Amino acid sequence: MSVLNIVLVEPQIPQNTGNIARTCAATGARLHLVKPLGFAIDDKKLKRAGLDYWHYLDITYYDGLKDFFAQNSGGNFYYFTTKGQANYSEVAYPDNAYIVFGREDAGLPEDLLFHNPETCVRLPMRGGIRSLNLSNTVAVATYEVLRQWGFPALESQGNLTKYNWEEATCPK
């Protein structure tokens, strides 16, 4: 089974992390949180944003980037950054990919980016805009990877609550 790993390095805003946790629950992605965090893990805003999906999550905590890389050596890391030179949708993400995101206010450490130029990617956007919201960026990136993988183990069709789709009529 394909595994996608979402890595948040020193997230600062609990609502973003809660939204990302919900994305992980909905997609089956593993969540990696690299400390220090800008909030307590029991923060009400964090729990509210993630709703009642916390029991669906596979979360691992790390005491810093050094600890994260020590425990995940040999991983396929892709660094999402506004400083990246490659378009995120032009990369072929392998199974067990780690998509890595930095702090909302500072991004990823520049020395990490400098030493990994071939795996630094960005979402295209207009000039003069600092960045997209972290949880939005994670959602776009997550669904691009899963799209490339054919959305493994995800339901691709929904159901109506009061009607049956087979009985629907389309206007001519």
21-39, pLDDT tens digit by residue? 999 999 999 999 999 998 8
Q: What is the pLDDT of residue 46?
A: 56
47: pLDDT strictly greater than 90: no
Here the tokens at position 97 are 């990919």
- pTM of the predicted model as reported, rounded to 2 decimal places: 0.91
Here the tokens at position 64 are 């810093």
10: pLDDT strictly greater than 90: yes
1: pLDDT strictly greater than 80: no
Q: Is 40 helix (H, G, I), strand (E, B) or coil?
A: coil
Specify binding-site residues.
102, 123, 131
Specify binding-site residues for S-adenosyl-L-methionine.
102, 123, 131
What angle separates helix 134-148 from helix 14-27, to the nearest 10 degrees? Answer: 20
Nearest to 81 by CA among 120, 126, 109, 24: 120
54: pLDDT strictly greater than 90: no
Domain spanning 4-167: CATH 3.30.300.130:
no
